[in-house]
Amino acid sequence: MKEILVIIPAYNEANSIGKVISEIPDLVTEIIVVNNNSTDNTAAVATAAGATVLFEGQMGYGYACLQGINYASKRSKTPDIIVFMDGDYSDFPEDLHKVIAPILSGDADFVIGARQKALREQGSMTPQQVFGNWLATSLMKLLFRASFTDLGPFRAIRFEQLKALEMEDKTYGWTVEMQLKAVKRKIAYTEVPVRYKKRIGISKVSGTIKGSIFAGIKILGWIFKYSVK
């Protein structure tokens, strides 16, 4: 039986985190919710739903993910696969089966859940998200011959490969950093189409002008940084 851990960064997701946890398939060994300095009852709701709750006081998606990885590294039993997903209920947790399938079959070590247009609920992604994904993946194709179509947060990776990536980004560049490093280090990757729906609450990134601008700067910064390496 594979040790599968799910890491969910969460900031003020009290209204959604319980739904997310309840719909994660039973094959998952442990669900880790990283409470990223929430001011609501996110931690209490996640604990009641059966998740392991960690606290990360430094605000940032990457900070929360790194806290989850640090916890996973110290477990008595080493995980085989780490799955990342959001806590806002925009992902379909039951699609985890599809996301980990290429890893379980040995066809890939890293899988992105691609939010294809045909499977997205109307309005679930903002125009700036759609454009940002297109721009980032187009540049990655041009500069690195990568075949990604999305920077989707719903993703799975073998734990040993994740550790080898030596992830650094603390905020908005986490997803693109992982994908760029996977390409550079020739980690076998693929995408699987996943459904996507309107989130509960407002996005901390695409829901604000400031968040969108900073995310764009971070993502492009990582791409151009790796293009000159």
- Give per-residue pLDDT as tens, 116-152: 999 999 999 988 889 888 989 999 999 999 999 999 9
Q: What is the mean pLDDT of the chain?
A: 92
- Give per-residue pLDDT as tens, 51-102: 999 999 999 999 999 999 999 999 999 999 999 999 999 999 999 999 999 9
CA quadruple 211, 185, 147, 225: dihedral, nearest 10: 40
DSSP 119: G
**pTM to 2 decimals?**
0.91
Task: Assign 224 a pLDDT band (cuts: 50, 70, 90).
Answer: confident
Task: Name the 3-class secondary structure at 191.
Answer: strand
Q: Which amino acid is at 164?
A: A
What does residue 51 show for φ and ψ, rounded to 5 degrees? Answer: -85, 155
Tokens, residue 50? 């059966």
In 3D, which of 204, 217, 199, 213 has the Cα closest to residue 60?
204
Q: Name the percent of the chain lying above pLDDT 90.
A: 80
E strands along the chain, which residues?
A: 4-10, 30-35, 52-55, 81-84, 110-114, 155-158, 189-193
Q: Beta strands 155-158 and 81-84: pairing type?
A: antiparallel
